[in-house]
Amino acid sequence: MASLSSSTTTDNPILNCLYVTLGCAKNEVDTDRMRALLNEAGFGEAHDVDEADVVLINTCSFLASATSESIDATLDLADDVAQGVRRRPIVMCGCVPSRYGDQLAGQLPEVAAFVRADEEDGIVEVVRGVLDIEGQDSEALGNRVLRTVEGASAFVKISDGCDRYCAFCAIPYIRGRYHSRPAAEILDEVAELMRGGVREVVLIGQDTGIWGSDMGDGYSLAWLLRRVGEVVRPYNGWVRVLYLQPEGMTDDLIAAIRDTPEVLNYIDIPVQHCDEKILKSMNRSGSLEQLRAVFDKLRSEIPGMVLRTTGLVGFPGETDDQFDELLSFVTEQEFDYTSVFSYSQEDGTAAAKMANQVSEDVKLDRAQQLLDVAEEMGFAATAKHVGEEADVIIDGVEETDDGVELIGHTWFQAPDCDGAVHIAEGEASVGDVVRVKLVDSFCYELVGEIIGE
């Protein structure tokens, strides 16, 4: 699939950048943006350290474990670079520099430059600086579309930052205050992606449900979904939205999902917990009864919809009874997909200073119990689709011992997190949409046969 950025040249020879991305889909989008900027400035792309002239690692710092992984990956890259015969500077980008700032330079001398998440639009100048080269002055970005998506699905950020300040979460300290991305930029990007061959756009942000709340009257996520639907309609495209908070499920938003054909009947609502006292301690709103009402309404308004959620266990002060309530809630709701996390004591967050921290052994035990229930519900939900016919977007083609296997996903599977459809026979290319009959399931995976083959 063609790059969606325009290409210019400089007087410098082509130098290659190696990109390493850790963390969530939002980081993937940020890396893609930096890649497009560097492509436009005349840089090429390397596929391993030996080909690279500079290495960019986009880091995650959502949890302490993610920070450690990011630093370990950076040091591993430094080891690889040290084995080469020429200098390859490393640039650390994203959440770790945003969270730890000036502390890093003295602790990671292997890194040539640190780029915060809100500084990534200046990546061309940073890379030129660490390579000690000159080039044309970068033009003002304005509202230009800069993406280099190669797959059939593309994540599109509609906002950044967060104002919720959940007691367990460091995102507001990493990404800053919430701000909506302008509608014109989003719609232009979606249109360009569709023209480039993308068939599904996945709208993401730290808090997608409140998009437009900082932009004045008339703007809302419901409004945006209807406009994005209009953009993808000529391409028979799909629209998926992730990371909706329970209180953001307004009547207008539910109606927009239900009545806009291009918007998939798939909703991701990370509840974290259902006990009112725990939610209040988390600095979140809601209760067991309110959450039940939200999901009851969604199921009645949009029959057959698919639901994803997230459960967080072991928050400070969580009792056995409160955990059992969460376990029962997930069982009762029969979510199609449930991500499970155990609480991590993150520096700088309110919960890190709370009394009654839950022991690691108890957290791990509770996480495993919830995961067992989540998988029992999820595997059964996946199996219910066996016998159905569905459109499948082809994401990849793999060579196996038995021949070629097509791998894709259908409307009730979010890319990169919900399993896939495996098709053993048939011909198709990445980005094609094929009609299949779902004939078998295993865990979250499905087996499909192309209809008419």
- Tokens 């993406």 map to which residue? 147
Q: Which residues contact 340 (CB under 8 A, 6 or more apart)?
A: 310, 311, 313, 367, 370, 371, 374
Strand, coil or helix: 83: coil
Residue 85 φ/ψ region, left for φ over 0, alpha for ψ in the -120 to 50 degree band, beta for the rest: alpha
Binding positions for [4Fe-4S] cluster are 24, 60, 95, 162, 166, 169
Binding positions are 24, 60, 95, 162, 166, 169
Specify which residues 397 forms β-bridges with. 406
Q: Where are the alpha helices (DSSP H) in 197-340?
A: 221-232, 251-259, 276-281, 288-301, 320-333
> What is the spatial distance between Cα 25 and Cα 32, in angstroms, rounded to a whole number?
10
Q: Which residues contact 230 (CB under 8 A, 6 or more apart)?
A: none
Helix axes 320-333, 288-301, angle to 10 degrees: 10
Q: Where are the alpha helices (DSSP H) in 282-319?
A: 288-301
Sheet of 44-45, strands arranged across: 44-45, 16-21, 54-59, 90-94, 113-116
- Element containing residue 435 per DSSP (H, E): strand 433-442
Residue 161: HSE in the Cβ half-sphere, 13 Å Cα cutoff: 11
